[in-house]
Structure formats: structure tokens, C-alpha cells
């Protein structure tokens, strides 16, 4: 096995890593070889929040962790908890600032001040308006949308009370949150309060720091992220099952290739419209290309893949590799998960890197500010720039042949419809199949790629193990794209990879055993789907009663920690892979892995081996089945690792 094969399980990725190495182009894969992670930083045993430090507190010998202190006397527990909380603040801030941009565009759209956007889904507008307590009687769509936009915007700066969407959770869950005083007041307030509390010499009791981190994480999952998903659905349409194609092979040698990368779907939506404009196609042909080929990368890809079937060129670790093909005329980036290394790779080719958000510039890249007021004109200008760049190709083009067909776009609303039908939309069939044991339980597997582990391997190993054991998987983000590339997002995958019970249900309904629910902010769709299962009845009164678990086997971003923590605080057992950012403190780690379960009925776990992680999740699901009295319903036997090895 060559080194490249240890870097990714994806053939297209391996092929282009080799090309980059042969041409001496620095990518995330080569830089990871050059820079080893700091062992003190890995376990978060350092503090640099004041100028008396940095205080590095490496573990010396076992049992000594309680004695380790910084110059100010801060214990290792305080330091690790502060670092953990700051990650959650950054993650929640990222999702929520994305949401704010969406809300502001939504308001401008309601006022008729944007170009190319519309209030597309009036039914969802009404539903969300009712969630916000808006009296819709005798109001026009425009007035309802305006009122909704203003109310949604007020969620960010709210100072007291409770954010609105908390009421969407099961009643039992709301009681738990109120009892433990973690209901978020306003989204921005919770982020600011973490930054204050973790300043030098403020909050220095680790459980108290984690309590605020919990409040902030809930403000993300049941606040910013959920607002973003709902308002995007109203403006761009609720995703429905859509065929798509994924992997670097979607790039086309004889087309002008434009890759749209990042998270906010605002410009990407308009690039889709602009790319279909006959004038743009004519211009591309005039330059000798056969047309424009728009492709997505990371979560922007998920957004336009599930709403428009626009092909996806790859996930997080493939962003630079797309440019190494030599075939990309232009890449747009907005916010989050965009490597600065992109500009270096772009300079090795003819590629233009375009930043489009006033929050994010990259040295050397061209900045074109996206403004919704003339968004369609901006989208067309960007495509024209790409077309003009087509004749500047100066390298041999090397596009891998690999691409995989997928079915994506399973929103909560669609799952409801597919299971129950148009007139009796319902989660009843799902609950019934969990109760009768055909489906063992449900897992949310989400999150990034991390170059410190083999690209896509954690996702695919873990997910295959789950579906083989009859666990239905809901997926988002880069995990979803890994599944797409591995062929798990097709109805046929149930026949090939799923256990007999899950396969029976998937084949009857015609769905894949792994359902693509969208981008990182769309993890809120998983919360809503889980809530719908509770409300349907038969599986307990709370999210923590469900035979369900979560995982992010290849996480790397602070957003992933925020997501994991709102899942845990919502009662879901959640397993992370790669590394775990509290290992410096045994007490904080025990608190998050065990004690917090007493409070929120959900807890964290860390397991770097994805197969073992899958079995932790399955064991948790089985414990929940037993608690619900459903353990007898399954006549199928779970083959654990030892039993399978014995068979081999
Ligand atoms: Fe060191 Fe305390 Fe300053 Fe942190 S706050 S850097 S532990 S002195
Ligand atoms: S893009 S946050 S690497 S999932 Fe949402 Fe992927 Fe993680 Fe970024």
C-alpha cells in the first residue's frame, strides 16, 4: 500500500494527491506530513488567554492532574473547560452568523429589494410564521414574511426570556433544560457570555463553564442553525429527493468549470440561475468551451446538490485537489472551511480564487462582494470572469474518471411524506418498523474530514457497520459526501450494504439506507426528525428515550463540537473520532462522558476506531430498546466483532 492510499480511501483523491506530489504542489496532505500536532495542544493542556502565560501544563504522571495549575492558579480542569467552551462559542457563532446573513437577505427579499430571490415556499412560510406566534389572518405573504424576518432577526440580540424554537422540542426535553437553567436567552448573548466567562479570572469552576457552553450550543442547534435551515427552505424550496453526481470526476475537460465552495447558499443559488442563462452559455461557446459546468464543494455543494442536482466535486479534503486537476477556471468561497492553501494552489494553475463575503478575505485572492440587491448581476459577472479565463489553461488537464450517482435531499418534510404519503404524512411507519425491530434504531452521522485520519475511511467504516446492523443513518456535511462517493446514497445500497430488516424497509419505500439531509446547519433537520419520532408516539416521551445515537468520526472544526454538544444536551449519545479536546483533564472528560448523562440523559464518547465507535452506538441503541421494552421484538441476532471474526 502506497502512502497516498493511507491518506484516502477514495480513488479520485489518491490519484490527485499523487499528481500534486509529483508536481511539488503543497496541499493539506503534504503540510500534514510536515507539521506534527502539538501533544500539549491535542489534549488542550495549555492556556494563552493572558500575557502571564502561555501556561503549558503537560501531564507528568497519572493521578497528578488535580495539582496542575497555571501562573494565576487556574487548574487544568478550568483551562480545559475554558478551551472547550470557546470552541463551542466559535462553532455557534459561525452557524449563527451564517443564519444572520440569511435572515437579512430574507427581509430584503420580502421587501422586494433583492435580485433573483423570492419567497418560494409559502406553505413553509406559514408554518414557520406560526412557530413564531405570528397572527397570519388576513395578512399578505409579503407582510407575513416581513414580520417573520424581523422576529427571526430579533432572536440574535434577544437579552432575556427564551429563544422561540426551544418550544419545538418535546415537552419533557424543555423541562430538563429549564430545570438545569440552560435555555438560551438570545443567540449572540450566549456567545458573548462564553467569551466573558472564559476571560482571565472570571468563571473558574468547570461544571459552571460547561453549563454556559451548553446554553450556547443549544442556541446554535435550536436557534441559529434552525433559523438558517427554515428561512433557506422558504427562499429556495424544501429539498426533495434529487438525483445527483459526486466526486472530482464531475469536472469536465471541455467546459468552463466553476466550483462554488463554502456554506452560505445565497450566491450559489444565483450562480445556478446564471449558469442556465443562454447568454452565458453562448459566451462560453464563443471561448471554445462546450458550456459552463457548475460544481459544488463542501456544504455549499450540499445546498445546491439537494435543491438543484448540481454535481458535487468533493468534500473538505478535496478542495485543493479540485484545483490540482488543472481544469477549474474559477472557485468562489464565502465563509467557513476554506483553506488558505487554496490561493497557493490556484497560483500554480490559471485558476481564479474569488472571495465573496465581507467576513472573509484571503490574501492574494480577488474579492467580489456579494450583495443580494444585485445578486444575479454579480453571479453573471463571476461566470463571465470564469469564461474569460478558459483560454488561459496552461497545464495538462487531469480529471479523475471517478464519479458516483446519488439520491440526496431528504428533509424532515420529505421523510414525513415518503413514509406516510401526501394525505397522511407521518413518521408512523418509521416508528412501527423500529418497534417491530426491522429497524434497530436511527443514527445521525455528520461532520468533517480530518487529514490526521484516512480521508473518508472513518465515515464509511462506521456507517457501513451501522446499516449492516439495521440502523438507519441520517447524514449531513462532509460525511454525507463521503457516503455519496462510496455509493451509500442510492436505493440499491440497501440491498448491498444493509442488514435484512433495514433493507426490507428501504426496498419497500425505495429509499437509501443512508439519508442525505443537507449541510452542517441542516443538523437541525435531524433534531426535528428525532422530535417528530417522539411526537409520533411509541418510542418514549423524550429525545433521550429514542433508540438513537450520533457520531462525527472525522471531525476537525469547532462547529462540529458545537453540533455534538447540542446533540448531547438534547439527550443524544454522541461519539467523536480522530481526537478528543478535553483529554488534558480527567475530571472534565469524565464530566462530559458520564456525569452530564445524569443531567441531560445524553453524553459524549470518544472512540478513534470507527468500527468500535459503531458498536458503542449500537449498544446504546439496544439499551434504549430494552428500556422501551422493545428488545424482544428483534428476532435478528447482532453479530459483534468477535462473532464475525469467529465466522471468518
Ligand atoms: Fe496562565 Fe492563568 Fe494566564 Fe491562563 S489565565 S495564561 S493559566 S496565567
Ligand atoms: S463543510 S464544518 S468540513 S462538515 Fe460544512 Fe465539512 Fe465540517 Fe466544514
The answer to whether residue 629 scores a pLDDT higher than 90 is yes
The answer to whether residue 162 scores a pLDDT higher than 70 is yes
Average pLDDT over residues 478-489: 98
The answer to whether residue 530 scores a pLDDT higher than 60 is yes
Domains 76-236 and 420-627 fall in the same CATH topology: no
561 touches ligand 2 (CB under 6 Å): no
What pLDDT, on the 0 to 100 scale, is given for residue 580? 97
Residue whose Cα lies nearest atom 3 of ligand 1: it is 50
What pLDDT, on the 0 to 100 scale, is given for residue 175? 98
Whole-number Å distance, alpha carbon 337 to ligand 2 midpoint, is: 6
Residues with CB under 6 A from ligand 1: 47-50, 52-55, 70-72, 74, 79, 200
What pLDDT, on the 0 to 100 scale, is given for residue 1? 39
520 touches ligand 2 (CB under 6 Å): yes
Architecture of domain 242-392: 3-Layer(aba) Sandwich (3.40)
587 touches ligand 2 (CB under 6 Å): no
481 touches ligand 2 (CB under 6 Å): no
Residue whose Cα lies nearest atom 2 of ligand 1: it is 72
Q: What is d(CA 102, CA 110) in angstroms, rounded to the nearest whole number?
A: 12
How is residue 553 written as a grid cell? 468520526
Q: Give Rg (Cα) of the chain.
A: 24
Whole-number Å distance, alpha carbon 500 to ligand 2 midpoint, is: 32
The answer to whether residue 640 scores a pLDDT higher than 90 is no
Whole-number Å distance, alpha carbon 560 to ligand 2 midpoint, is: 8
Whole-number Å distance, alpha carbon 299 to ligand 2 midpoint, is: 6
The answer to whether residue 339 scores a pLDDT higher than 70 is yes
How is residue 561 written as a grid cell? 463540537
Ligand closest to CA 558: 2
The answer to whether residue 533 scores a pLDDT higher than 90 is yes
Whole-number Å distance, alpha carbon 48 to ligand 1 midpoint, is: 6
Percent of the chain at pLDDT exceeding 90: 91
298 touches ligand 2 (CB under 6 Å): yes
On average, the pLDDT of the chain sits at: 95
Whole-number Å distance, alpha carbon 315 to ligand 2 midpoint, is: 8
The domain 76-236 is placed in CATH, from the list 3.40.50.150, 1.20.1270.30, 3.90.180.10, 3.10.450.40, at 1.20.1270.30
More reliable by pLDDT, 121 or 415: 121
Ligand closest to CA 199: 1
420-627 CATH fold: Rossmann fold (3.40.50)
Average pLDDT over residues 638-645: 63
299 touches ligand 2 (CB under 6 Å): yes
| Closest-lying ligand 2 atom to the alpha carbon of residue 555 | 7
Instruction: Write the Ramachandran bin of 279: left for phi over 0, alpha for psi from -120 to 50, otherwise beta.
Output: alpha
547 touches ligand 2 (CB under 6 Å): no
Q: Residues near 179 by Cβ (< 8 Å), separated by ≥ 6? A: none
Supply the DSSP symbol for 551: E
What pLDDT, on the 0 to 100 scale, is given for residue 67? 73
Read off the pLDDT of residues 91-137 as tens digits, 9 standing for 90 and up. Answer: 999 999 999 999 999 999 999 999 999 999 999 999 999 999 999 99
Read off the pLDDT of residues 576-596 as tens digits, 9 standing for 90 and up. Answer: 999 999 999 999 999 999 999
pLDDT band for 59, please (50, 70, 90 cuts).
confident
Q: What is d(CA 481, CA 22) in angstroms, rounded to the nearest whole number?
A: 27
Give, in order, the Cα–Cα distances in Å from 598 to each of 117, 585, 590, 603, 607. 46, 20, 12, 9, 21
Weakest-pLDDT range from 168-182, 263-277, 634-648: 634-648
Whole-number Å distance, alpha carbon 459 to ligand 2 midpoint, is: 13
Sequence spans of domains, the chain = 4-67, 76-236, 242-392, 420-627
What pLDDT, on the 0 to 100 scale, is given for residue 637? 54
Per the listing, cell 500534486 goes with: 20
Residue 295 host element (H or E): strand 292-297
557 touches ligand 2 (CB under 6 Å): yes
Q: Residues near 364 by Cβ (< 8 Å), separated by ≥ 6? A: 343, 347, 353
Whole-number Å distance, alpha carbon 282 to ligand 2 midpoint, is: 35
Average pLDDT over residues 41-62: 90
Amino acid at each position: 500500500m502506497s502512502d497516498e492510499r493511507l491518506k484516502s480511501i477514495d480513488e479520485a483523491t489518491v490519484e490527485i494527491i499523487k499528481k500534486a506530489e509529483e508536481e511539488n504542489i503543497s496541499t493539506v496532505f503534504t503540510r500534514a506530513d510536515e507539521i506534527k500536532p502539538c501533544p500539549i495542544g491535542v489534549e488542550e493542556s495549555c492556556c494563552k488567554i493572558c500575557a502571564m502565560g502561555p501556561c503549558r501544563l503537560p501531564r507528568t504522571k497519572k493521578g497528578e492532574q488535580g495539582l496542575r495549575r497555571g501562573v494565576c492558579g487556574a487548574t487544568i480542569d478550568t483551562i480545559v473547560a475554558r478551551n472547550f467552551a470557546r470552541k463551542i462559542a466559535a462553532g455557534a457563532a459561525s452557524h449563527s452568523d451564517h443564519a444572520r446573513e440569511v435572515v437579512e437577505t430574507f427581509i430584503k427579499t420580502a421587501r422586494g429589494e433583492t435580485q433573483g430571490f423570492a419567497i418560494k415556499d409559502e406553505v413553509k412560510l406559514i408554518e414557520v410564521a406560526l412557530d413564531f406566534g405570528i397572527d397570519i389572518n388576513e395578512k399578505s405573504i409579503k407582510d407575513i414574511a416581513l414580520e417573520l424576518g424581523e422576529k427571526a432577526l430579533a432572536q440574535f440580540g434577544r437579552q432575556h426570556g427564551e429563544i422561540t424554537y426551544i418550544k419545538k422540542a418535546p415537552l419533557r426535553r424543555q423541562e430538563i433544560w429549564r430545570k438545569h437553567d440552560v435555555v438560551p436567552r438570545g443567540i449572540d448573548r450566549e456567545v458573548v457570555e462564553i467569551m466573558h466567562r472564559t476571560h482571565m479570572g472570571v468563571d473558574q469552576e468547570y461544571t459552571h463553564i460547561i453549563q454556559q457552553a451548553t446554553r450556547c450550543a443549544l442556541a446554535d442547534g435550536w436557534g441559529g442553525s434552525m433559523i438558517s435551515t427554515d428561512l433557506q427552505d422558504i427562499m429556495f424550496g424544501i429539498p426533495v429527493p434529487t438525483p445527483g453526481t459526486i466526486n472530482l470526476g464531475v469536472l469536465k475537460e471541455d467546459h468552463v468549470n466553476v466550483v462554488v465552495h463554502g456554506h452560505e447558499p445565497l450566491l450559489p443559488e444565483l450562480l445556478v440561475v446564471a449558469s442556465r442563462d443562454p447568454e452565458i452559455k453562448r459566451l462560453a461557446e464563443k471561448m471554445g468551451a462546450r458550456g459552463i459546468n457548475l460544481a459544488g464543494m463542501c456544504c455549499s455543494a450540499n445546498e445546491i446538490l439537494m435543491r438543484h442536482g448540481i454535481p458535487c466535486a468533493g468534500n473538505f479534503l478535496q478542495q485543493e485537489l479540485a484545483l490540482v486537476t488543472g481544469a477549474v477556471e474559477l472557485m468562489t468561497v464565502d465563509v467557513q472551511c476554506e483553506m488558505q492553501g487554496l490561493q497557493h494552489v490556484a497560483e500554480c494553475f490559471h485558476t481564479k480564487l474569488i472571495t465573496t463575503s465581507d467576513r472573509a478575505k484571503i490574501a492574494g485572492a480577488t474579492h467580489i462582494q456579494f450583495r443580494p440587491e444585485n445578486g444575479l448581476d454579480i453571479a453573471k459577472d463571476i461566470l463571465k470572469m470564469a469564461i474569460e479565463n478558459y483560454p488561459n489553461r496552461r497545464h495538462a488537464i487531469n480529471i479523475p474518471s471517478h464519479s458516483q450517482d446519488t439520491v440526496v435531499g431528504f428533509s424532515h418534510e420529505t421523510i414525513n411524506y415518503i413514509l406516510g404519503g401526501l394525505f397522511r404524512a407521518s413518521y408512523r411507519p418509521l416508528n412501527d418498523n423500529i418497534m417491530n425491530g426491522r429497524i434497530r434504531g436511527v443514527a445521525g452521522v455528520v461532520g468533517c474530514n480530518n487529514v490526521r485520519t484516512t480521508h473518508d475511511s472513518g465515515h464509511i467504516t462506521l456507517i457501513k457497520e451501522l446499516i449492516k446492523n439495521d440502523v438507519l443513518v441520517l447524514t449531513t456535511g462532509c460525511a454525507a459526501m463521503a457516503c455519496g462517493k462510496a455509493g451509500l446514497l442510492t436505493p440499491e445500497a440497501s440491498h448491498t450494504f444493509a442488514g435484512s430488516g433495514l433493507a426490507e424497509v428501504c426496498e419497500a419505500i425505495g429509499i437509501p439506507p443512508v439519508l442525505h439531509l443537507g449541510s452542517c446547519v441542516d443538523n437541525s433537520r435531524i433534531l426535528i426528525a428525532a422530535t417528530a419520532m417522539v411526537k409520533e408516539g411509541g418510542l418514549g416521551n423524550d429525545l433521550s428515550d429514542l433508540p438513537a445515537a450520533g457520531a462525527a468520526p472525522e471531525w476537525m472544526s469547532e462547529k462540529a463540537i458545537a453540533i455534538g454538544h447540542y446533540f448531547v444536551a438534547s439527550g443524544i449519545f454522541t461519539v467523536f473520532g480522530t481526537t478528543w479536546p478535553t483529554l488534558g483533564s480527567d475530571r472534565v472528560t469524565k464530566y462530559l462522558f458520564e456525569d452530564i448523562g445524569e443531567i441531560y440523559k445524553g453524553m459524549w464518547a470518544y472512540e478513534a476506531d470507527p468500527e468500535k465507535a459503531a458498536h458503542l452506538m449500537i449498544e446504546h441503541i439496544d439499551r434504549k430498546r430494552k428500556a422501551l421494552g422493545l428488545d424482544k421484538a428483534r428476532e435478528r441476532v447482532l453479530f459483534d466483532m468477535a462473532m464475525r471474526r469467529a465466522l471468518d
